[in-house]
Amino acid sequence: MTRSSTSLVIALGMAVGMFLLNSSASRTAVGAPETIQDAKSQSHGGKLEGTWRVQVIQRNCQTGAELRTFPAMLTFAQGGTLTGTTTAFPVALRSPDHGVWNYNGQRSYRAVSEAFLFSPAGAWVSTQRITQAIQVGPGQNDFTSDATVEFFDTLGNTTSTACATAVATRME
């Protein structure tokens, strides 16, 4: 290798190194977490993760009057996914919930989940979407939520909406 080609290789190596260093610095400069703990606190506060026993109160959307109550279970996983199940429908008529959640700050979260609904013959007839505003209590072992529930036909058209509130305790 000649002296000029060696100098070129060193110059290219330095240029690539500077590019990588600048790329890393710019990611950190825009607020990228520097540690796992920082990532946890910035992404969701680390307070909603886990499994919760939920008591759902279906309400009249106009008056707020209680229509019925039923238990459910929700599991919020690290990374922002959730799964759940409810006793509001027979198991054969509704799939489990699958969804996502995010941290809004100050013990406040937003979650959206969907489940498939089936006819007694087993045909898929609609989809249920639940959008929740969740507030975790100061002790981090309880939460309350307000929810909008939407039902869609198999073509994605809204067929009805409902309202609910809920109280939950962390399963330990």
Please report which residue ranges of 30-165 form alpha helices under DSSP H. Answer: 36-43
**pLDDT above 70 (res 114):** yes
Residue corresponding to tokens 């969701």 = 44
Percent of the chain past pLDDT 90, that is, above it, reads 71
CA–CA distances in Å: residue 150 to residues 34, 55, 115, 127, 154: 39, 19, 11, 8, 13
**pLDDT above 70 (res 39):** no
- Of 124 and 40, the one with more pLDDT: 124
Q: What is the CATH number of domain 50-170?
A: 2.40.128
Residue corresponding to tokens 């939950």 = 168
The full length of the chain comes to 172
pLDDT at 40: 42
Nearest to 88 by CA among 146, 149, 143: 149
Average pLDDT, the chain: 81
What span, in angstroms and rounded, lies between the C-alpha atoms of 117 and 127?
6
**pLDDT above 80 (res 6):** no
pLDDT at 95: 98
